[in-house]
Each structure stands twice: as C-alpha cells, then as structure tokens.
Copies of this chain bind each other. A is one copy, B any other.
Amino acid sequence: MANATHHGALNMILHFAGLGSMGLGMALSCLRAGLEVHGADTNPDRLAALVAGGGQALQPDSPKADALVCVVLNAEQTRNVLFGAAALADRLRPGGVILSCATVAPAFAREMEAEAEARGLCYLDAPISGGSIKAASGQLSIMAAGKPEAFAAARPVLDAMATTVFELGDTAGPGSAMKAVNQMLAGVHIAAMAEAMTFGMTQGVAPDRFLEVIRQCAGTSWMLENRAPHIVAGDYSPHSSVNIWPKDLGIVLDIAREARFPAPITAAALQQYLAAAGMGLGQEDDAAVAKVYARNAGLTLPGEA
C-alpha cells in the first residue's frame, strides 16, 4: 500500500479543502504521486506553500474534480465545505469521491455519506492518524470505511497519502468510530504520561530518568515515547497542540454520552487539557499538559526559569 502510483492517477484531479498542519503535507504527498491538486484554505500563506510545491489555488473556473479531500477541524466545517457555504461537493464530476478526514461522530459520517450519495457521489469515511511529519511524507494511517466503489475511486489518493489503510467497513461510520477510540486512548496516554512524570518528580525521579526507564517497562505507551521527550527537552513547539484535545476528547465524550457510556478516565484527562487551555497554553504542544500538573504541585519542569 506504499505510495504506488496507479495507472490513471496522473490524470486524476483533486480538490483539497484545508491546508493546515495535516492537509498541506497530504496535498504535497499527492502532488509527488503525480496527482493534480487544486487547494483551498482561508490562510493565503498555506495556499502559497501549496503553489510552491506544484499545486494550484482552487478557483471558480478550476476543472471539476475526481476526488475531494476534506481535512478541516470538525463536523461543522466539514458540512460547510461539502454541502454548505463552500458546496465543494457540487464541483465533483458525477461518481467522484469525497474523502472526509476530520474527526467526527460516526453518525455524522453516515449522514454525510447519505448526502453525497443523494448527489450521485461516493463518500469515504477516512479519518487520519500519524501526525504532521507522516502527513508530509505520505506515511499516514487512514481508518477508512465506505462502499467498495468509494474505496476504488479513492485508491490513488489513499496510496499517495498513507502507508496503512485500515478497511473497516463497507459503509461510512466505522472509520470515525475507530478514530474516536484511538483519540480516546491517545489523549488519555499523553495526560497520564504527564501525570506520572510530574508525580515522579515529587519522589525525586528526574524527567530524563523517567523517560529512560519507563520506556523500557510495562508502563510505556506510544504517546509516552513520542511526547515525554518534549518535556525533557523543555520544547513545546507544537507538533500537535493542546487545543486538539478539548476538541477530540469532547467529540469522544459527546458520542459516549449519546450511547450512555460512562468514561471516567477520559473525562478526567479532558479536564487537564481544559486547564492547560485555560492557562493560555492552547497553542503549545500537547505535552504542555504537564504544566498543569507542575503548577498544581509547585514543580519546575525542565527548561523553566
């Protein structure tokens, strides 16, 4: 499934909505794979970066697309891009495919699929995982679900953006469900790492020692190995920002509440991210949730005065 360019891909026309930290890298990966990309973003700097990489700005007279990749923040933006104010769905050729990548509720994904099919379009529920670096290198994981014809139409785009495509069901919904499950764990694990690292500091365990030992022990997690080094280095340049988590854990807990599913650990983790955002850290790397713990316990993290 690695970045192979399929026959026909060279003639494929993509519209790309959302050129943020994930979307721009994904669009550039599609360009490298030989696809034609017309992109849209409210930020002209992001559009300029796409053009510098060989893409074009989506214009009123741009050609109709074979596929529309929608990489926006949430459900509301997704609806606006596809069928609302922007109505980019109307600019797909008949039978074209929408790849919807935002983290949304499974029920919303099913609703969007129905809207797409009512217009004679295919819809792929296609949340993404892997972060901005893998987005830029075409090495994302995609948790995908949709009808076989949606997968077939989207295949060259999936191949350009991802090394792993999980095919989770033959209708929209399961992709978003699995993404919600993954975000629940990822969000909990980052905050738990911060809780444990700062707890260790109260017991004389230095952050670098914590990372060295725990990454080799049963207490480790993918997120611990990825994010704890940011705290050890005192570097909160955002790879993925604090603000992601009130959004994504909020979606998770909205879905859980709707299903009458109590999720006390996730709820506790969300409070810590809200505190981080409330402290003004929303734009920092999500490892900055450690600063909530440090403040509460009177600790000084690496790199702090």
- Please report A residues at the B interface, Cβ cutoff 8 Å: 106, 129-131, 141, 143, 164, 166, 168-169, 173-174, 177-178, 180-186, 188-189, 191-193, 195-200, 202-205, 209-210, 213-214, 216-224, 226, 252, 255-256, 259-269, 271-272, 293, 296-298
**Those 4 A-B pairs whose CB atoms lie nearest each other, nearest first:** A185-B219, A177-B203, A221-B221, A202-B259
A297→B173 contact, CB < 8 A: no
Q: Does the CB pair B256–A199 fall under 8 Å? A: yes
Which of chain B's residues have a CB closer than 8 A to the CB of A203?
A: 106, 173-174, 177, 180-181, 255, 259
Say whether, besides A141-B216, A267-B268, A268-B264, A181 and B168 are in contact (CB < 8 Å).
no
What are 28 inter-chain pairs, A to B, with CB distance below 8 A? Answer: A131-B218, A164-B216, A169-B204, A173-B203, A174-B204, A177-B200, A178-B200, A180-B199, A181-B210, A182-B214, A182-B217, A182-B218, A182-B219, A184-B195, A184-B199, A188-B192, A188-B196, A188-B265, A195-B265, A199-B256, A199-B266, A220-B221, A221-B222, A259-B297, A262-B293, A262-B296, A267-B268, A268-B268
CB distance from A202 to the nearest CB of B (A): 4
Distance, CA A271 to CA B166, complexed state (A): 34
Residues of B near A262 (CB, < 8 A) are 293, 296-297
The answer to whether B222 and A220 have CB atoms under 8 Å apart is yes
A180 to chain B, nearest CB (A): 7
| Min CB–CB distance A78 → chain B (angstroms) | 18
Whole-angstrom CA separation of A197 from B261 in the bound complex: 12
> Assuming A106-B204, A222-B220, is B199 touching A263 (CB within 8 A)?
yes
Q: Shortest beta-carbon distance, A77 to chain B, in Å?
A: 22
A185 surroundings in chain B (CB, below 8 A): 192-193, 196, 214, 219-221, 224
Q: How far is the CA of A49 from the CA of B181 in the complex (A)?
A: 44
A184 near B196: Cβ-Cβ < 8 Å: yes
Please give, as numbers and ranges, the residues of chain B lying within 8 Å of A266 by CB-CB distance. 192, 195, 199
With both beta carbons as reference points, the residue of chain B lying nearest to A205 in the complex is identified as: B177
Contacts A184-B196, A199-B263, A297-B262 given: A173-B204 contact, CB under 8 Å? Answer: yes
CA distance A252 to B291 in the complex (A): 20
